[in-house]
Amino acid sequence: MKKSAIFVLCVLTAMLLASCGGGSGQLDGIWTGSIYGDDVTLVVVDNICFMREGRSVDAATFRLDGKSGDITFGRDKFPFTVEGKNIVVSVYGELFEFSRTAKADATPKALKGVWNGPYDTTLVFVNNFAYFIDDDGDADYASTYTFNKNEGSLRSTLYRYDVKFTVKGNSLNASIEDFGETLTFTRKK
């Protein structure tokens, strides 16, 4: 049962819908803990939660209502409560505690927020990380990116995409070398 919970958390993904409720931003940031002895990182921005375990990453919807909420991967909902400075997540009845290790305040102002692109793609910058959700709901991330004035670049970890991007206001143009096209993302308001 324990390994199946890790499997569910790591494999199931959900396309992120703005109508799913969302977070208030108060929990935005990077949270660390462990599930059944495996180190897990939760990255929360708005109504999105990315879960990293080792090199794998999955995306889920995130809903907060007062001091409780849920993280939804596919059809599975994992309830959580906010207890002091921690998030306590229930995975099939067992409780796992996550502590915030960083707020999302180190992200450059020009990059903050959730960026929605064509084909139901999503891009999120959190401190020195960039996270993606592609049109199939699969997640990827870059463990570092460069950004100077309005231009930047990154290389994704799993799919090895080389991306160059420019930002102007609430518009981000990303040129993905492997696709041979430029995608335009708009910051979610």
Single-letter residue type at 38 = D
Q: Name the residue ranges covered by the structural domains of the chain.
A: 2-104, 107-187
Looking at domain 107-187, its CATH architecture is Beta Barrel (2.40)
Whole-angstrom distance, CA of residue 87 vs CA of residue 81: 6
pTM tops 0.85: no
9-42 residue pLDDT tens: 332 222 222 223 344 478 899 999 999 999 999 9
Whether the pLDDT of residue 8 is over 80: the answer is no
Q: At the topology level of CATH, where does 2-104 sit?
A: Lipocalin (2.40.128)
62-106 residue pLDDT tens: 899 989 999 998 888 999 999 988 999 999 999 999 999 998 888
The reply to whether 107-187 shares the fold of 2-104 is yes
